[in-house]
Copies of this chain bind each other. A is one copy, B any other.
């Protein structure tokens, strides 16, 4: 938990996510918007467009996965070290349709020196679950901003 008098971790998380998102052409194509960005905690949203639908006229599984995957990457990298996803899983709960807003919020389950595990809850605006995503990451020793890192 970050204290009110210590802006460093929060500043670092925002700097990392801004840097990652600025070069993340696919997240930009998805129209991902940031709602929360903090160390280990991110909430993102997107609006489902026609070109995101599959043959059943619902959002393609790759859309929910990509949104959750971006949230996961931003949450874990926000601590400042390059963190790479090893394994992710997605449980499908309810479909999203054209025009729907899809929200993905991370829940940090575990966070050690070299590894991290997150759930990502993917929901409609009314809280109905779209999917449940779980991701396992490997944290490298490489800092995103060596100057900002303690």
Listed in ascending order, the chain A residues whose CB lies under 8 Å from chain B are 19-30, 50-57, 60-63, 65-67, 69-70, 73, 84-93, 109-110, 114-115, 117, 119, 129, 132, 134, 136, 138
Contact = CB atoms under 8 A, between A and B. Distances in A.
Given A91-B134, A134-B132, A134-B134, A85 B61 contact: yes
Contacts of A57: 23
Contacts of A28: 51
Contacts of A109: 91, 93, 129, 132
Nearest to A18: B55
B54 A61 contact: no
Given A87-B117, A92-B86, A117-B87, A66 B55 contact: no
